[in-house]
Amino acid sequence: MGMEADSSSFPSSSSSSSTAQRKYDVFLSFRGEDTRNNFMDHLFNALKGKGIHTFRDDEELKKGKAIGPELLEAIKESKFAVIILSKDYASSTWCLDELAHIIFCKEEKGMTVLPVFHYVDPSDVRKQRKTFEQPFVEYEKKENKERVEKWRVALRQVGNLAGWHLKDTRPESQDIQEIVGCISLNLKYDAFPYITKDLVGIYSPVVELESCLAVGSNDVRFIGIWAMGGMGKTTLARVVYHMVSKEFEARGFIEDVRKNFENYGCVPLQQKIIDDILKDKDLKIEEEYDGVLKIKSRLSRKKILLVLDDVDKSKQLKMLSGEHDWFGPGTRIIITARDKHVLEAHGVDTIYEVKGLNDENALQLFCSKAFRKKHVLDDYIELSNHFLKYAGGLPLALEVLGSFLFGKSSVEWKIVLERLKEFPEEVILQKKDHVVEKLDILGLYPVLGLEELIDKSLLKIMYDDMVWMHDLLEEMGRNLVFQECLDDPGKRSRLWVYNDIDKVLEKNKGT
């Protein structure tokens, strides 16, 4: 079901490939008798439909012939190789020669190899068992030993690669869609190396968000990107914006809507939309309702891509992208926000929630900033784990902490860690019912209050009704209370530091 390994590793495997112009995007390797009239044919047509230049060698030419130089050249001149490993794949010496050359091109030329395990177990391919075993009994008798060993090595290597494992539990069309999507997206990555080269863990969110966009559909869609601050909403929107922008007649990326709306009002933002999309500097907006009329009248027949970044109020959306019928068929409006309710109130078609980085990607990002390397230095392993736990997968926190720690000694790291731990750790995971009970006692309308905090990305309800709040937000709340009275802890609404509590109780200075 889907990729056998974390798909976030996929771009890096192709990023090493040569930037030289390739003759083909994809080379298809398959056993015709198994897949020619079903999976392979459907995959080939799906790739062709996406404009992906695919080489499919004619099975009829294979009969009684050794693999020719033209075919070897086609493999060499392809960026990707999709290998459909069906039950009788190993019965064809032609297929095995193809595979051996593909693995050679992977190692020597950076080709990206994508195996499809066509109703066979990857471990059977890897260990040459079942239908991958019997052919080798005959090969050992007839073929050159060195040639047979190359085939075995190639099967072992391809069996270890991340790929798609076709099973009866889901339609083949889903696997085909994912394969074509991965290749299409990776080809777009080549066009924007500067944008994506230093981004960690971006691949999977980009794939998911691009799927939400459904660019081929002719309807008008509003897509919200929702998460707390520092999660990478703007970065994700910008990457996808650049990758799909060529599919639209015109485009615009409106940054910092919240800040600019507060500082300068609505009209400059409306004017920027008109300027970016129509490229008409003479069309001036007089006031905000004039802006509404001009956006609606001038853009209603255009297929546009518009990003409204960091929106926090319904009025902003009402004045900048009011209704679906403001825009032409095929238009996509991407809106990033911290408040889910703002997106829901505007009637967006899809809300995509940006998640924190997984452990592997969090470590990679932290190391890139703290050490300017891809791995943790030996003396810093335990300390790094503490900082990773503190950052909780939040990209901005990982970048800030890593950059701050760069070049510092392990002693300095320990001092920074102690400073962060000035507030003793509490259990931030509590049962929802327990939290509701506490808030209810305080008369704080907990049911509405919790929903509001969740919508604003300040809380999450996890598995088993556990309530989660990010450590950094917890610390921000404590700092706000600390600012109530810097010099006299007794005048603050809450206490948590042992020394402060001790002083207040000892001198009876509490409020």
Active site residues: 98
Phi then psi for residue 236, to 5 deg, are -60, -45
454 secondary structure, DSSP code: H
Mind giving me the DSSP string for 329-354?
TT-EEEEEES-HHHHHHTT-SEEEEP
Task: Tell me the C-alpha distance between 378 and 445, whole Å.
Answer: 50
Length of the chain: 511
Measured distance CA(285)–CA(266) in Å, rounded: 10
- H-helix or E-strand containing 207? helix 203-213
Question: Token pair 């009011």 is at which residue?
Answer: 322
Six token digits for residue 352: 């995509």
Sheet holding 250-254, edge to edge: 250-254, 304-311, 332-337, 221-226, 350-353
Which structure tokens are listed for 385?
A: 């784990």
What are the strands, taking DSSP E only, across 406-489?
430-431, 460-461, 466-468
- Coil, strand or helix at 328: coil
273 neighbors 320 (Cβ within 8 angstroms)? yes
* DSSP one-letter code for 324: G
3-state DSSP assignment of residue 17: coil
Distance separating alpha carbons of residues 12 and 20, to the nearest angstrom = 17
Q: Are 332 and 360 in contact (CB under 8 A)?
A: no
Check the CA dihedral 26-30-36-40 and report its sign: negative
Helix (H) or strand (E) holding 311: strand 304-311
CA angle (379, 381, 383) in 5-degree steps = 95
Q: How far apart are CA 120 and CA 4, in angstroms?
A: 13
d(CA 316, CA 472): 28
